[in-house]
Structure 1
Amino acid sequence: MKVSGFTFVRNAVKYDYPVVESIRSILPAVDEFIVNVGRCDDGTLELIRSIRDPKIKIVESVWDETLRKGGLIYAQQTNIALAHCAGDWAFYIQADEVVHEDDLPAIQEAMRRQLGNPEVKGLLFRYLHFIADYWSMNPWFYHKAVRIVRNNGEVESCGDAVGFHLKATQQYLQSGPKEWIAPSNGRVFHYGWVKDPTTMLEKKREQVTVYHGGGHIPAAEVKQLAHDSFQFEDYAVLKEFSGAHPAVMAERLRSSRRWAPRRNRWLNIQFYREVLRRGFRG
C-alpha cells in the first residue's frame, strides 16, 4: 500500500498558517507528500523547503485570480496537488489542519483494511474547530469531513475544498451511498481561526474576495470587516477544550495564551440562546 499526502498553500507566512506542523503531523503515515505552493512573496515557498524531508515534492502554481466565487479556487488548487499523487490512497490535509500522532496507527489500519474494498471511496475524520485560542472550540461547525480518498481518478475536490465528489456525476461523497465512506478513526485539529486578531482580520478580507469577488458581501461579514481587528463574537459560548493537542503544536502552545477570560458557558444565558437558535452540538 502506497499513501500520498497532499495539500496546497499560499501566503502561509503572511496569514500565520501552521502549515509546517500540518505537513509534519502526517509525514509518518505517507510515502510521499505533494505540496502545491501558490506564487506569493511572503516566503511560503522557502518555508516549505525548510522542512527538508525527502518525502516532500513541491509543485509551484499561479492562482487564477478570476476564479473568485464560492471558494472554488481552493478546490482547483487542491486538485492540482491531487493530480501529482501516486499512492493508492491520497491523504489530504489543509494548511491549518493538524492530525494527532496518537491517531496515526488507527488511520493507517483503516487504509489497509479498506484497500481491497473498492466500494469505499473515502475515509471520514472527526473535526475539532478551535477559535481564537487553543482552549476554545466551536461545536456548531461541521463535525466530520473526508480527508483520505481512493486515488483511482474517480474523485476530486469540490466546492471550497471542504469535501470531495465523483468526477463523473459530481455526487458529493458524504451524501452518497453509505458504502462510499468508512471511518478513519482519526481527528483533525482545525486551527484556522487561532490567530492574532489583526492577522485574522487580514485573512478574513482575503477570504471575502475568494468567496464573493466583487459581488454581494453578506451583512454579517461586512460588520466583521468594519473593525480594526477580528472580533471573536462567539467566544463567550465556546466549548472548553482540556485535552492534548498534537505534539507538533507544542511550540505554538508554549507561546500562546487565552484570548480573553471566560466563565463556564453553562452559567451563561447567551449559551442557551445560541442552543435555541442553532441546536445543541456538543
Structure 2
Amino acid sequence: MKISVYTCCNNAIENEFTLFEGMIQALKFCDEFVYVDGGSIDGTLEKMKEFAEKDERIKIYENPWEKRMHKAMTMIQKNVALSHCSGDWCFLMDADEVYSDNFCLMIRKLLEDIGNSFTGIYIPTYHFYGRFDVICLKDPFLGHEYYKGKIYGIRNGLGIHHGNADGDHDGFVDNDDVSLKRENTYVLQDFGYVCHFGHARSNEMYLIKKNDIERRYHIGWSDLEEWDFEKILKEKPDCFRKVDISLIPTIMMKRVIETVNEKGFVVHDKVLSYYQLFF
C-alpha cells in the first residue's frame, strides 16, 4: 500500500507557516509527498528543492497563483497537487498544519485494517491560537464555531477531488460534484489528530492574515488596526480552552522555543520545560 501526502503554498517562510515541520512529520508515514508552489518569492521553493534533493519521495510542482481567482485558488491548487498523487490513499496537509505523533505511528496499520471499506478518513483538528497551550473553539469576533475536524484522507482512483460542496472549499466531492458521504468515511476517535497552527503566529503577521481573509469572505469587513492575542484571550475566555502541551507534535519544539525568544509569544513556563527535555 502506498500513501501520498499533498499540499500547496505561497511564501511559507514570510507567512510563518509550518510547512517544513509538517512535511518532515508527514514523511514519517508517507511514501510520497507532493508539493505545489504558487510562485513563492521568499525562499520557500528553494528550501523545498533542497529537501527534495535529499529525499526522493518529495515531488515538487509549480502552478502560478492567479490573483484574480484568489478565492477559488486554494481549491484549484489542492486539486493540482492531488492530481499528481500516485498513492492508494492521499492525505491533505495544509501548509499551516502538522499531523500528530500518534497519527504518524498508527495510520498505516489502520489503513491496512480497513482495506476498501471506506472512501475517506475524518480526522479531529485542534486550532492553536496565539500560543501553544491554547486552542480556539469559536471565532472571538464573528462568533461561529471552528470546525472540530474534517476529511483529510481519501482513497485514490475513485474520482474524488476538492469541490465547493456545501460552500466548503476543503470539502471533497465525486465526479458528479456530490459531497463525500459521512457514512463512507472512517472517523478517527481513539488516536490521531491534526494540529492547525494558522492562528498561532506573531501578532503582526496574524493581523495581516486576519484582515486579508475576512475581506475575502465577509462583505463589509472593517480592517482591524491592531492585534493582541493575550488581550483577546482575556476578553473572550469562552472562545478558548487551555490544553496539555503534549498535544503538540515534537517536531514543533524548535519553533516553540524560537517564537518565544524572537517573536514575543507568550507560553507558560512548563511548556518550555517540557520541550527543553527534547531540544
Note whether the superposition's TM-score is higher than 0.5.
yes
**Paired residues of 2:130 and 2:229 also in contact (CA < 8 A):** no
Report SS of the residue matched to 1:29: coil
Q: CA offset at residue 158 of structure 1?
A: 2.5
* CA distance 1:100–1:177, shift in 2 (3 Å): closer
1:171 corresponding residue in structure 2: 178
Q: Confirm whether residue 182 of structure 1 aligns to residue 186 of structure 2.
A: yes
* CA distance 1:47–1:161, shift in 2 (3 Å): farther
1:147 corresponding residue in structure 2: 152
C-alpha distance in 2 between matches for 1:131 and 1:103? 22
**Paired residues of 1:138 and 1:239 also in contact (CA < 8 A):** yes
1:251 corresponding residue in structure 2: 254
Task: State the identity %.
Answer: 25
C-alpha distance in 1 between matches for 2:220 and 2:230? 17
**Any unmatched runs of 5+ in structure 1?**
263-282
**Paired residues of 1:99 and 1:246 also in contact (CA < 8 A):** yes
Q: Deviations over 1:30-67 (max 9, x none)?
A: 11110001112111101212323221000011012221
Q: Confirm whether residue 55 of structure 1 aligns to residue 57 of structure 2.
A: yes
1:98 corresponding residue in structure 2: 98
**Paired residues of 1:10 and 1:37 also in contact (CA < 8 A):** yes
Q: CA offset at residue 228 of structure 1?
A: 3.7
RMSD (CA atoms): 2.2
**Paired residues of 1:34 and 1:57 also in contact (CA < 8 A):** yes
**Paired residues of 1:125 and 1:145 also in contact (CA < 8 A):** yes
Q: Deviations over 1:220-272 (max 9, x none)?
A: xx1xx23144667642312111231101101011224485599xxxxxxxxxx
Match of 1:217 among 219, 223, 239: 219
1:42 corresponding residue in structure 2: 42
Alignment of 1:65-144 (within 5 A): 65-69=67-71, 72-117=72-117, 120-140=118-138, 141-144=146-149
Report SS of the residue matched to 1:78: helix
C-alpha distance in 1 between matches for 2:243 and 2:135? 7
Q: Deviations over 1:123-151 (max 9, x none)?
A: 01011110001011112311111111111
Report SS of the residue matched to 2:22: helix
2:244 corresponding residue in structure 1: 242
Report SS of the residue matched to 2:193: strand
C-alpha distance in 1 between matches for 2:228 and 2:65? 26
One-letter code aligned to 1:255: E
One-letter code aligned to 2:185: I
Corresponding residue pairs, total = 246
Q: Confirm whether residue 15 of structure 1 aligns to residue 23 of structure 2.
A: no
**Any unmatched runs of 5+ in structure 2?**
139-145, 269-279
One-letter code aligned to 1:27: L
| TM value normalised by structure 2 | 0.80
**Paired residues of 1:110 and 1:183 also in contact (CA < 8 A):** no
